[in-house]
Amino acid sequence: MSLVCAVAVLISAARVIAMALPDRPQPWAEHLLRRTAAAFAWAAGAVYSMGLAGVLWSEAEVGDGADSTPAPACRMGFDPQTIEGLTHHRASYLPLRFDCVRADGSAYASDPDLVWTNWTWSALALTAALLFIGMHYREELRARRAPVR
């Protein structure tokens, strides 16, 4: 996944640089807007995939051999007072979460990094959607301004 993202960034950077050259494709602003929207969409997908892999990995570790219940993600790296009374876990894929549940019903997040992952992929996806909508709005506005023949 990292290699695919790195190659995509290099291709996107080369295309952006190509827009600055004298023989750039016309209309260059539309090409740049389309490529920027695509880059944000791919970045959102990559960040979401990274977080999803973490949640799926934590889910797969449950019930996989000795000392695998409750979830190792809920026990490793936490002090004994935090994991006291741990009974089960809850996984969510939208938004990405892997919560550890105690016997009294209280819960805590097993991976605090999922918070920034959720905010990042949603901000990137929203930006891509706004750029895509703006691109189509710009085309429609240009069509309205064009003289009628």
pLDDT per residue over 38-61, tens digit each? 888 988 998 999 999 989 998 888
pLDDT at 26: 67
| Contacts within 8 Å (CB) and 24+ apart, 118-122 | 118/51, 120/47, 121/44, 121/45, 121/47, 121/48, 121/51, 122/44, 122/95
pLDDT at 65: 73
Residue 1: pLDDT above 70?
no
Cβ contacts of residue 97 below 8 Å, gap of 6+? 55, 90, 91, 109, 114
Residue 104: pLDDT above 70?
yes
Residue 130: pLDDT above 90?
yes
Residue 136: pLDDT above 70?
yes
pLDDT confidence bin for 81, thresholds 50/70/90: confident
pTM, two decimal places: 0.76
pLDDT at 86: 86
Q: List the domain range (segments joined by +) for residue 9.
A: 2-145
* Number of folded domains that form the chain: 1
pLDDT at 14: 79
